[in-house]
A and B are shown apart, each in its own frame.
Chain A
Amino acid sequence: MSDYPLPVSQVIDPSTSASERVTFLEKLHGWVVTVDHKRLGILYILYSTFFLLVAGAEAVMIRIQLAYPHNHVLSAQVFNRFFTMHGTTMVFLVGMPFLFGFANYIVPLQIGARDMAFPRLNAFSFWMTAFGGFLLYYSFLGGAGLYGVGNAPDVGWFAYAPLTARSFSPGHATDYWALALIVSGFGTLGTAINIIATIISMRCKGMTLMRMPLFTWLLLIVSMLTLVTITPLTAAQFMLLIDRYLGGHFFDTQAGGSSLIWIHFFWIFGHPEVYVLVIPAFAIANEIIPVFCRKAIFGYPAMVAASVCIMFVSLSVWAHHMFTVGMTSVSNAFFTLSTMLVGVPTGIKIFNWIATLWGGRIRFTTPMLFCIGFLFQFLIAGLTGIMLSVSPWDWQLHNSYFVIAHFHYVLVGAVVFCIFAGIYYWYPKATGRLMSETLGKWHFWLFAIGFHITFDTMHFLGLLGMPRSIYTYQPDRGWNFLNLVVSVGGLIQGIAVLIFAYNFIVSYWRGEVAGDDPWDAWTLEWTTSSPPPVYNFEEEPEVHSRRPLWDLKHPGDPDWEYES
C-alpha cells in the first residue's frame, strides 16, 4: 500500500439522485453497446473465463475416458470431437481473447490515453470474436443429434487435409470449424490493428517507445505478429471452403493437389500463433515480477530487443512441426537450427528475470506465486522444446504425448499461470476490490500440484510410445498406470480452477477495498482510481521515465537519472 498522498484523478460521479437510477435492462444495454476499452476488456475476460471452464470440462472428460484402457465413457466419434473442440476453444476462445482483453483494459491506461484509437472497431472486433465462438459451439446442436455431439468439428484443431475434404468429412463439422475461425479471425485482426494504432499514435507526452511499460511494448510486438499470423490461417480456410463448396482442388490429391501445402500454411500460422499466446504472458510477468521484488526490470533494452528478435525469428521455424512429413535432410537441418536459435532470445529473458529478482525483496503474494511457477515451468518447457527441435529425436516424439506435455507446459504452465497472475494483479484496479489471498493461495498450490502430476508424467507416456489423438489404448502397452496418474492430476486442476472461479465472483462484493495502488506499483494505471473513471485521466499525463510513479514516490531518486 502506498503511503504517499497521490494526486489522483477524481471520480466525477455523474448520477446525483435516486430518480436517475439505472434499470437492469439499461445496464445490460450499456454493456452491449459499449465502446469503452475498459468494458470491452472486461467482456473479453468474462468471455474467456467462460470458455476456459467449458474447454476445461472437455479436457476433464477426455482424461476420464483415458484413465483406463478400452474405457467406454466417450465413443470414438465423441472423443474426436472433444479433443478437437478442446484445442480449438483453448487457442481461439480462451487464450487469444484473454490476452486481447488484458491489452484492451490496460494499454490505454498505461500509455496515458483516453481510450483505444478506434473504439467502434474495438467493439466490432469483440462481437466478431464472440460470434465466432458462438458459431463454433452451435455446431454441437446440429447434425445427427446431441448425444453424438451433433456436428462439432472432429478433425483435430489442426484440421489436416485431405481428412477435411468433402469425401472424408461429409456433413458440416469441418465447415463450422472453418467459418467460426474465419469470423473470429476478423475480430482478432481488428483488435491487432487497433492496438498497434493506439500504441504508436496515442501515447501521452514524454512517453517515447523506450519509455513504455514492457507490457505495452510486448503487446505492440504481439499485435504486429498477429497481422501476419492469423491471416495465413484465414487464407487457408478460404481455400478449404473453396475446395469443399466450389469444387476447388487446393488440397485435392486426386487432382494433383497437395496435402503438404495445407500443412505448411497451417503451421506458418500455427507456430507464430504460439508466440502470440506466450508473449503476452511474458508481458504480464514483466509487470508483476518487478513490483513484487521491488526492483526495476533488469536490462529493459535487451528485453525489448529479445522480444523483437523473437517476433522475426518465430516466422522462420514453422516446419519443426513437420519433421516427419518427408522434407529433405537439408530442410530438416535448417529448421532445427532456426528453432534452436529462437530459443536464445527466449532463454535470455529468463536470465533477465532472475537478475531482476537478484538483490530484491520478494513478496510471495498470489500474483507473484503464479509468476514464479511460470518461471520454473517456462524454463522446463523451453528445454523440452529444444529436445523437440532435435529433428531425429522429433521423429520419435512428434505426435506423441511428449509433444502434448511440452505444449501444455507452455500453454498452461506459462500462459495460464500468467493469466491467473494478471487477473489477481489487475482485478483490484478493474473492480476496486482485492481477491482473497487465502483462496488465491489454495488455488495456486492445488493448481500447481495438479499441473505437475499431469504434465510431468505425460512426458514419459510419450517416451513410452503413446501417440496423441487416440480415444483409447491397448492394455498391454504399459501405459495404464501413467494414464491414470495424468487423469487424477487433471481433476485436481479442475478443483483448483473452481476455487478460482468462486474467488473471482465473490470478491466482487466481498473483497477488501483496494484503493488506487494496492501493490505499490510504478506504472500509470495505478495513478487512477479503482475502477478508473470512464475518461481515465483528467488531464493528459506527462512522463519522463519508464516508471512515472516511482519518480513521483522518489522525487530525490528519479529513474530518469539512471535510464540509458
Chain B
Amino acid sequence: MQTRHAQCLIRRSSASAWLLLTSPMLIAQGTTPSTLAPASTPAHQIFDLSVFVVAITGGIFLVVGGLLAVVLFRFRARKTDPLGEPAQIYGSTQIELAWTVIPVLIVVVLFLTTARIIFAIQDAQKPKTALDVTVIGHQFWWEFRYPKYGVVTANELHIPVSSDAAPAATFLKLTSADVNHSFWIPQLAGKTDLIANHANTMWMDPQKPGLYLGQCAQFCGSQHAMMLLSVYVDTPEQFDTWIKNQQQPAQQDPAVVAGRKVFEGQACMNCHTVSGTAATGRFGPDLSHLMSRATLASGAMDNTPANLRQWIKSPDTFKRGALMPAMQLNDEQLDQVTAYLETLK
C-alpha cells in the first residue's frame, strides 16, 4: 500500500506531466472546466485512474500501431518481388491463442483497478459533518436547497472548502422537475444525471477555494447550452457569511414599494418566491437574494441592472426558448420592478 505522501507525489507528478503535455490547449486556465485539473477527491481518483488507463492503452497503441506501420513498410509490393504469389499462410493456433489470452489478462487487470474506484466513489460513506444540498433541475436553470439551513437559491452553488484538518464534504441529492439534466463540474466530480422520480446522489470535497465552472450535460431542450453552472468553493468564513445572508428574509426597502407592487401585481409571484412576502411561486428561481448572484439566467449574462431590465422586458434577447415569458411591462413598470429587484441583496 502506498503512503499518502507517495500517492500525493505520484498525483502531482502525473498531473504535471499531463498538464505539460496538454498545456498548449489550456488557454485561460483559470476558468477552463478541465477534467485534467482535479480539485476534489472524486475528480482526483478519476484522474489517477485515467492516467493508468492511458498508460495501458497507450502501450497497446504503440505496440499494435507500431507493428502495423512496420508491416506496411516492410511488406510493400516492390518491382524486385519474384513472380507469382507470396506464401499463403492460413493461420496458427498458438499465435491466435496467445493473442486471445493476453488481452483477456489486460482486461482483468483494468477491470479490477476500475472496480475499486467505482466502489470508492459511489459507495463512499457519508461523514456526519457533510453538507446536504438538494439540486432540482429545471428547464433551463438550477434550484439549490439547503434543507438543514432552510435556504433556497438558484444557479450559483456555494459550498465550503474541505481540508485534512477540517474535512467538509458536500453531498448532493439530485432530481428533476421536468426533463433529464446532468450536473457536471469537471474539476470537482464526474457528472450525475437529474431524472424526475429517480433521486441520485453524488459528493465532492473541494480542496481549494475558488470558482469552478460547469454546465448541464444532458440535452434538455432548446436552451440546454445556456444552463450554466457556477460553484463557489468558500472558506469556512465566506461560507458562513453567505449562508447567513441567504437565511435572512428578503430585504423590504420602502423606497422601492412601487416596484414591489408591480412584482406582486403582475404575474411574477406565480412563478417566483421572495421570502417573507406573498410571492411563493416555485416554477422559476427563488429571487430572495437575487443580487447575491454574479450572473442572471443561469449564467447567460452578468447581473447588471441593464441586463436585468432587458431580461424582464424580453428574455428572448438572451435566451430564446427560456420558459420565462415576456411580461409586456411598460417602461415605467420595468424601471420600478428592476429597482425593486436590485434591492434583493
**Which A residues have a C-beta under 8 Å from some C-beta of B?**
75-77, 80, 154-156, 160, 162-163, 168, 253, 256-260, 293-296, 298-302, 324-326, 328-329, 332-333, 336-337, 340-341, 343-344, 347-348, 350-352, 354-355, 357-364, 372, 375-376, 379-380, 383-384, 386-387, 390-400, 460, 463-465, 467-474, 476-482, 554, 559, 562-564
Contacts and interface: CB of A to CB of B under 8 A. Distances in A.
B191 A399 contact: yes
A351 B96 CA distance: 9
Contacts of A476: 28, 31
Contact of B114 (A253, A301, A390): A390
B269 interface: no
17 contacts: A162-B178, A253-B196, A259-B197, A294-B86, A328-B122, A344-B104, A355-B89, A359-B75, A362-B77, A383-B61, A387-B57, A392-B45, A400-B217, A464-B34, A472-B225, A477-B31, A478-B25
B65 A361 contact: no
A396 B35 contact: yes
B219 interface: yes
Contacts of B111: 333, 336-337, 340
Contact of B36 (A163, A354, A464): A464
Interface stretch (B7-15, B48-56, B142-150, B260-268): B48-56
A77 B222 CA distance: 6
Contacts of A299: 90-92, 96
B285 to A, nearest CB: 19
Nearest to B45: A392
Interface of B is mostly: mixed
B192 interface: yes
Contacts of A474: 228, 299
A163 B222 CA distance: 11
A394 to B, nearest CB: 8
Interface in B165-199: 174, 178-180, 182, 184, 186, 189-193, 195-199
B100 A348 contact: yes
A553 B77 CA distance: 20
Contacts of B219: 80, 155-156, 160, 163, 468-469
Contacts of B189: 395
Contact of A390 (B34, B49, B122): B49
B130 interface: no
Contacts of B27: 478, 480-481
A375 B92 CA distance: 21
Contacts of B29: 478
A393 B46 contact: yes
A357 B71 contact: yes
Nearest to B38: A396
Given A361-B86, A478-B32, 20 more contacts: A155-B219, A160-B218, A168-B221, A258-B198, A295-B89, A298-B90, A301-B91, A302-B91, A329-B119, A336-B114, A343-B103, A351-B99, A354-B71, A379-B61, A391-B118, A398-B217, A464-B25, A465-B213, A465-B214, A469-B224
A562 B85 contact: no
B249 interface: no
A392 to B, nearest CB: 5
A76 B198 CA distance: 29
Contacts of A379: 61, 64-65, 68
Contacts of A295: 85-86, 88-89
A162 B179 contact: yes
A328 B99 CA distance: 33
B73 to A, nearest CB: 9
Contacts of A155: 219
A163 B35 contact: no
A332 to B, nearest CB: 5
A399 B218 contact: yes
B305 interface: no
Which of A156, A351, A480, A562 is packed against the most chain B CB atoms within 10 Å?
A351
Contact of B225 (A460, A470, A480): A470
Contacts of B45: 392
Contact of B107 (A340, A468, A472, A481): A340
A362 B103 contact: no
Contact of B88 (A347, A391, A473, A562): A562
